Amino acid sequence: MKKIILFIALLGIGSGAFAQLENPVTWTYGSKRLSATEAVVFIKATIDEGWHIYSQKKVVGPNPTTFTFPASKAYTLVGTTIEPKPITKYEKAFKTNVSYFENEVVFQQKVKVKAGTAAVVKGSFEYMTCNDTTCLPPDELNFSIAVPAKPAAK
């Protein structure tokens, strides 16, 4: 009897560890200088088929994608993080309309930097990933995005 209980316990631990390994979203980062004093940073999610992540727009139900940028002497934020138009559909699991992204999405944040200097934009974001049958626990990631220097205009 003890062997059966031990086997069931180990089976449960093993399946829980497998579920934690599932990661249907890959994140990449980049930046582009727009002028001597302005740049935009890109945070791109590539999402496996059948999965989706939620918009920044808060609704009752799933956790929205949220971005946090700590104060920095190297840059200041210009506006808020923007996103493309999401898909909006009724989800039975949440009993409400939700807005989400499939396949890929690029979030953008403009920043103001000192003319002619490089900067590193740091922050974090939290997101939730779901498919038609399950949702993974919300995940939080940190990022660090280099913004190269551009000479000041003469």
How many domains are there within the chain? 1
Could you state, in chain order, the average pLDDT of each consecutive group of 10 residues for the chain (154 residues)?
41 44 91 95 98 90 95 95 96 88 98 92 97 93 94 56
28 assigned to some structural domain: yes
The model's pLDDT over 109-148, given as tens digits with 9 standing for 90+, comes to 999 998 888 999 999 999 999 998 899 999 999 999 999 9
Domain residue limits at 46: 24-147
Alpha carbon distance 123, 120 (integer Å): 10
Give the CA angle between residues 120, 125, 129 to the nearest 5°: 140
113 assigned to some structural domain: yes
What's the pTM value of the predicted model, to 2 decimals?
Answer: 0.82
153 assigned to some structural domain: no
For 36: left if phi > 0, alpha if psi spans -120 to 50, otherwise beta; the answer is: alpha
For residue 90, the one-letter residue type is Y
Handedness of CA 133, 54, 24, 51 (dihedral sign): positive
What are the structure tokens assigned to 130, written together? 């779901």
Which CATH number goes with the domain that contains 110?
2.60.40.1250
Radius of gyration of the chain (CA): 20
